[in-house]
């Protein structure tokens, strides 16, 4: 079914998707929804003409494989990637929860309602769950759970919330977090081989348009705050106070130092300043702490009270950090700061950053910044 099209240009990109509220929804005005709007935003940014086609998942995947569709969304990142299909940057960060009458998580043989050919259905089969009761919509799955025909439903919290708030499925269910899942767009083999530059431009545009789920919901914020409280109790590193107290002004050639640093990063080189920062005793301690956290912490950096980099667990893109919100907020408020959720393309992770003021004798000396892998945050604090 052809639903809508973008601006008129020479070549039409054929898009395919399926209804999946709140991401893709059919209304009187056509196809709408959070991911539909994200995709159209990205395509409009790159000046592409497009047509939207609404098909069942089986038809979508077949047409993508046969190059009859150019792009299909939104698919779990494991659905096609293992078969060599190229995917976009994540469009959605989903939080999958187990829904049940009694709470907890199922054993492999417990009965679970799944939507035919859904991301959850594929995932559960791969994990060894075999007692799966197939239905054709999440609403039907939740109704089966409420009626007692199955014991569990695995669903994205955003999609389930839409249905559970409807009077038709209004029922109090227990919910327990299971995993994060990222949904992306996938490109046909022909589109991937001939439109590489356009795909790169589209990825940048999609990030600018802001992927869905990039908010700190109450549970993610609560876990981030708990980690912030733990990290706030870290004692001063050996030599930290002396090093930070020794800085009494901004470097006169700060702009030049920062520009040299950025260019050296781009060229894959290391300046004497880089080597001095990366290899000093404080950086060695930050690297050790980073490793100790077992993947929860992705990076740690320390700045002086002017925002100049003093130590880091890994190479940063900038020397001067004082123009970043993660540092500015702490320097102005003298309070810890938790950043918005964001997607880090270099690590392919969804992260938050936690910034902490570093005091000595009630004087602010610097800022300690932690990058945090959000998925690990849930796994390690359950």
Do 231 and 107 belong to one domain? no
**What does the pLDDT read at residue 375?**
84
Domains in the chain: how many in total? 3
Under the banding of pLDDT at 50, 70 and 90, the label for residue 225 is very high
Under the banding of pLDDT at 50, 70 and 90, the label for residue 8 is very low
Do 12 and 63 belong to one domain? yes
Q: Taking residues 227-234, report their average pLDDT.
A: 94
Encode pLDDT of 322-339 as tens digits. Answer: 999 999 999 999 999 999
Do 195 and 308 belong to one domain? no
Do 337 and 232 belong to one domain? yes
* Domain closes at, from 132, 159, 181: 181
Under the banding of pLDDT at 50, 70 and 90, the label for residue 82 is low
Do 85 and 196 belong to one domain? yes
* Domain closes at, from 213, 229, 255: 213
Encode pLDDT of 94-106 as tens digits. Answer: 889 999 999 999 9
In the predicted structure, residue 159 carries a pLDDT above the cut 80: yes
In the predicted structure, residue 72 carries a pLDDT above the cut 90: yes
Do 330 and 277 belong to one domain? yes
**What does the pLDDT read at residue 70?**
96
CATH code at position 199: 3.40.190.10
In the predicted structure, residue 168 carries a pLDDT above the cut 70: no
Do 35 and 155 belong to one domain? no
Q: Print the domain residue range for 196.
A: 2-92+183-213
Encode pLDDT of 271-314 as tens digits. Answer: 999 999 999 999 999 999 999 998 899 999 999 999 999 999 99
Do 226 and 206 belong to one domain? no
Do 227 and 360 belong to one domain? yes
CATH code at position 252: 3.30.450.20
Do 119 and 192 belong to one domain? no
Do 133 and 160 belong to one domain? yes
HEC profile of the chain: CEEEECCCCCCEEEEEECCECCCEEEECCEEECHHHHHHHHHHHHCCCEEEEEECCHHHHHHHHHCCCCCEEEEEEHHHHHCCCCCECCCCEEEEEEEEECCCCCCCCCCCEEEECCCHHHHHHHHCCCCCEEEECCHHHHHHHHHCCCCCEEEEEHHHHHHHHCCHHHCCCCEEEEEEEEEEEEEECHHHHHHCHHHHHHHHHHHHHHCCECCCCCHHHHHHHHHHHHHHCCCCCCCCHHHHHHCCCCCCCCHHHHHHHHHHHHHHCCCCHHHHHHHHCHHHHHHHHHHHHCCCCEEEEEEEECCCEEEEECCCCCCCECCCCHHHHHHHHHCCCEECCCEEECCCCEEEEEEEEEEEECCEEEEEEEEEEEHHHHHHHHC
Do 88 and 42 belong to one domain? yes
User: What is the overall mean pLDDT for the chain?
Assistant: 89
**What does the pLDDT read at residue 380?**
62
Q: Taking residues 133-161, report their average pLDDT.
A: 92
**What does the pLDDT read at residue 9?**
42
């Amino acid at each position: 079914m052809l639903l809508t099209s973008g601006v008129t240009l020479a070549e039409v990109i054929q898009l395919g998707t399926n209804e999946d509220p709140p991401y893709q929804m059919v209304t009187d005005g056509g196809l709408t929804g959070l991911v539909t709007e994200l995709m159209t935003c990205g395509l409009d940014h790159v000046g592409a003409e497009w047509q939207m086609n609404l098909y069942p998942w089986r038809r979508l995947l077949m047409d993508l494989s046969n190059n009859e569709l150019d792009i299909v969304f939104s698919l779990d990142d494991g659905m096609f990637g293992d078969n060599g299909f190229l995917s976009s940057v994540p469009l959605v960060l989903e939080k999958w929860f187990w829904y049940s009458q009694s709470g907890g998580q199922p054993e492999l043989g417990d009965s679970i309602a799944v939507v035919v050919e859904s991301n959850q259905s594929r995932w559960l089969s791969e994990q060894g769950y075999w007692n799966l009761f197939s239905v054709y919509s999440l609403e039907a799955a939740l109704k089966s759970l409420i009626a007692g025909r199955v014991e569990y439903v695995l669903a994205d919290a955003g999609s389930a919330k839409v249905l559970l708030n409807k009077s038709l499925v209004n029922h109090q269910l227990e919910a327990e977090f299971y995993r994060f899942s990222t949904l992306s767009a996938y490109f046909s083999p022909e589109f991937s081989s001939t439109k590489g530059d356009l795909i790169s431009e589209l990825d940048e545009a999609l990030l600018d348009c802001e992927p869905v789920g990039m908010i700190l919901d109450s549970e993610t914020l609560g876990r981030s705050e708990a980690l912030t409280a733990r990290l706030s109790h870290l004692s001063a590193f050996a030599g930290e106070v002396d090093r930070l107290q020794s800085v009494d002004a901004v470097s006169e050639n700060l702009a030049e130092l920062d520009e040299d640093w950025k260019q050296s990063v781009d060229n894959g080189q290391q300046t004497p300043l880089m080597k001095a920062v990366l290899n000093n005793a404080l950086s060695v301690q930050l690297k050790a702490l980073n490793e100790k956290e077992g993947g929860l912490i992705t990076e740690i950096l320390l700045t002086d009270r002017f925002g100049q980099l003093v130590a880091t667990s890994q190479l940063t893109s900038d020397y001067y950090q004082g123009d970043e919100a993660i540092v500015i907020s702490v320097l102005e408020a003298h309070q810890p700061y938790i950043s918005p959720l964001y997607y880090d393309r270099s690590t392919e992770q969804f992260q938050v950053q936690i910034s902490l003021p570093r005091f000595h004798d009630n004087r602010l000396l610097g800022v300690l910044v932690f990058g945090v892998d959000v998925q690990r945050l849930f796994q390690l604090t359950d």
